[in-house]
């Protein structure tokens, strides 16, 4: 069963139908969009900010911004791709803020401790998968996101390009470079 | 090993492990992989990456569903959330700026902001978050708004 099928049982409305219902004031439609896509948004956020609590804040902000701007959603991208793009932008904003905080802390208080492993990182299913997760974190940001979005979320290279702010071709190159690098790291 | 076949198979591997492939493409992967160590290794890696997929913390969904309820205001509140400038524009019978970029201070993709006429989206801090056009309101609704406004300022 595919990722998308798990989240969309037979006969359910499409995302676009839910977007239209949400715009007409149907809050339950917005809730359904949250249920379908919060896991993917969370994974994108964690992949970028690498901290569980920050990632949760990022996902919440992303949904709020997406829903406030829903009147402008035209449906030429899928809702999922659009949401993940907003999530990635939010996560980058959170990273910038946290690096500014770290610089301040560095000036004030000396060296900063390395990030603690959050519960998200601890939730890996097996030793090998845990290793893969750790190695993924060592890839450059665009390679890491391209590999995750392609394999874990099933996005096309065109959709990945929208999320990482590059062309379809660049998304493809990032994916295959990321996979090759990951194989080297795992050996 | 055949480079062209390898290229095809490697394109298919992510959707193969995710169960998103049509049966004919499933066959392409299944026939190729037993005879190609490189593609077999890449398939194994993709399976491991998929298995390492994180699950969101269980409380996140509940938290998000609560926050959705606060995203939009009810129509009755919407009227009072409109800025003084918007009310002045309404009273003068002129349109309100539909430049959404000036109204939504958020960092989302540009195409997010093309607001369709008739949509009224207000943020809960009272800012106009879309392009509030009043064409969709009935005369009665407009009169009621003006009544309430004059009542409120008297
Ligand atoms: Zn091969």
Strand, coil or helix: what is B128?
strand
pLDDT higher at B148 or B56: B56
Identify the domain containing residue B12 by its residue range: 3-51
Cα–Cα–Cα angle for A80, B119, B80, nearest 5°? 120
Q: Please report the pLDDT score of residue A146 as a whole number.
A: 98
Q: Please report the pLDDT score of residue B32 as a whole number.
A: 97
**Tens of pLDDT, residues B25-40:** 999 999 999 999 999 9
Report DSSP state, residue B70. Answer: T
B41 is a domain residue: yes
B145 is a domain residue: no
B113 is a domain residue: no
> Which tokens hold the place of A182?
């990951």
Per-window interface: B 33-52 vs A, CB < 8 A? 41-42, 45-46, 48-52
Comparing CB atoms, the residue among A23, A136, A148 nearest residue B119 is: A23
Does ipTM surpass 0.85 in this model?
Answer: no
pLDDT higher at A35 or B139: A35
Report how far residue A120's alpha carbon sits from residue B54's, in angstroms, rounded to the nearest whole number.
6
* pLDDT (tens place) for every residue of chain A, 187 residues total: 444 544 455 578 999 999 999 999 999 999 999 999 999 999 999 999 999 999 999 999 999 999 999 988 888 889 999 999 999 999 999 999 887 766 555 444 333 333 334 454 444 447 889 999 999 999 999 999 999 999 999 999 999 999 999 999 999 999 999 999 999 999 8
Checking if the pLDDT of B141 tops 70, the result is no
Residues of chain B neighbouring A93 (CB-CB closer than 8 A):
107
- The answer to whether A146 and A154 are in contact (CB under 8 A) is no
Residues of chain A neighbouring B61 (CB-CB closer than 8 A):
34-35, 38
B27 is a domain residue: yes
- The answer to whether A143 and A168 are in contact (CB under 8 A) is no
Report how far residue B154's alpha carbon sits from residue B137's, in angstroms, rounded to the nearest whole number.
24
B123 is a domain residue: no
Report how far residue A96's alpha carbon sits from residue A107's, in angstroms, rounded to the nearest whole number.
17
Q: Please report the pLDDT score of residue B133 as a whole number.
A: 37
| Smallest CA–CA distance from B48 into chain A, residue | A129
**Tens of pLDDT, residues B58-84:** 999 999 999 988 776 434 333 334 444
Give the HSE-up count for residue B127: Cα atoms under 13 Å, Cβ half-sphere: 14
Q: Do A82 and B106 touch (CB under 8 A)?
A: no
**What average pLDDT does range B93-109 have in this prediction?**
43
Residues of chain A neighbouring B68 (CB-CB closer than 8 A):
27, 30-31, 34, 63, 67
B103 is a domain residue: no
Whole-number percent of chain B with pLDDT over 90? 40
Question: Tokens 């603690």, residue?
Answer: A116
Q: Do A151 and B114 touch (CB under 8 A)?
A: no
Distance of CA B14 from the midpoint of ligand 1 (Å): 14
Instruction: For chain A, list the domains and their CATH numbers.
Output: 1-100 (1.10.1740.10), 134-187 (1.10.10.10)
Kindly report the pTM of this predicted structure. Answer: 0.69
Report how far residue B120's alpha carbon sits from residue B145's, in angstroms, rounded to the nearest whole number.
15
Report how far residue A40's alpha carbon sits from residue A80's, in angstroms, rounded to the nearest whole number.
9
B14 is a domain residue: yes
B102 is a domain residue: no
Q: Is B60 in CB contact (< 8 Å) with chain A?
A: yes
Tally of domains within chain B: 1
Phi first, then psi, for residue B74 (nearest 5°) are -75, 155
> Which tokens hold the place of B140?
């009665």
Nearest residue to A88 via CA among A184, A9, A33, A159: A159
Beta bridge partners of B128: B122
Q: Please report the pLDDT score of residue A98 as a whole number.
A: 82
Query: Counting beta carbons within 10 angstroms of the beta carbon of residue B121, is it exposed (0 to 12), middle (13 to 18) or buried (19 or more)?
Result: buried
């Amino acid at each position: 069963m595919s990722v998308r099928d798990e989240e969309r049982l037979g006969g359910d409305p499409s995302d676009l139908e839910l977007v239209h219902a949400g715009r007409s004031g149907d809050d339950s439609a917005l809730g359904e969009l949250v249920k379908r896509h919060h896991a993917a948004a969370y994974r994108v956020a964690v992949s970028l900010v690498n901290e569980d609590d920050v990632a949760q804040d990022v996902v919440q902000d992303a949904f709020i911004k997406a829903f406030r701007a829903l009147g402008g959603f035209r449906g030429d991208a899928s809702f999922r791709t659009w949401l993940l793009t907003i999530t990635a932008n939010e996560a980058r904003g959170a990273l910038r803020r946290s690096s500014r905080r770290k610089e301040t802390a560095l000036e004030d208080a000396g060296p900063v401790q390395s990030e603690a492993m959050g519960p998200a990182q601890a939730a890996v299913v097996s030793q090998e998968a845990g290793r893969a997760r750790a190695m993924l974190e060592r890839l450059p940001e665009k390679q890491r996101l391209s590999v995750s979005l392609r394999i874990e979320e099933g996005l096309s290279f065109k959709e990945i390009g929208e999320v990482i702010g590059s062309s379809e071709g660049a998304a493809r190159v990032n994916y295959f470079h990321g996979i090759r690098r990951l194989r080297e790291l795992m050996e | 090993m055949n480079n062209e076949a390898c290229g095809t198979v490697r394109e298919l591997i992510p959707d193969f492990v995710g169960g998103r492939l049509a049966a004919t493409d499933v066959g392409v992967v299944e026939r190729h992989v037993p005879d190609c160590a490189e593609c077999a290794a890449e398939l194994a890696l993709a399976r491991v990456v998929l298995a390492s997929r994180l699950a969101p913390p269980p409380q996140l969904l509940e938290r998000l569903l609560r926050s959705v309820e606060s995203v939009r205001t009810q129509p009755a509140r919407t009227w009072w959330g409109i800025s003084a400038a918007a009310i002045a524009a309404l009273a003068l019978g002129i349109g309100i700026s539909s430049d959404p970029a000036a109204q939504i201070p958020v960092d989302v993709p540009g195409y997010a902001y093309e607001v369709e006429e008739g949509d009224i989206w207000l943020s809960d801090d009272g800012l106009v978050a879309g392009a509030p056009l009043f064409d969709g309101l009935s005369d009665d609704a407009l009169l009621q708004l003006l009544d309430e406004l004059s009542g409120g300022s008297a």
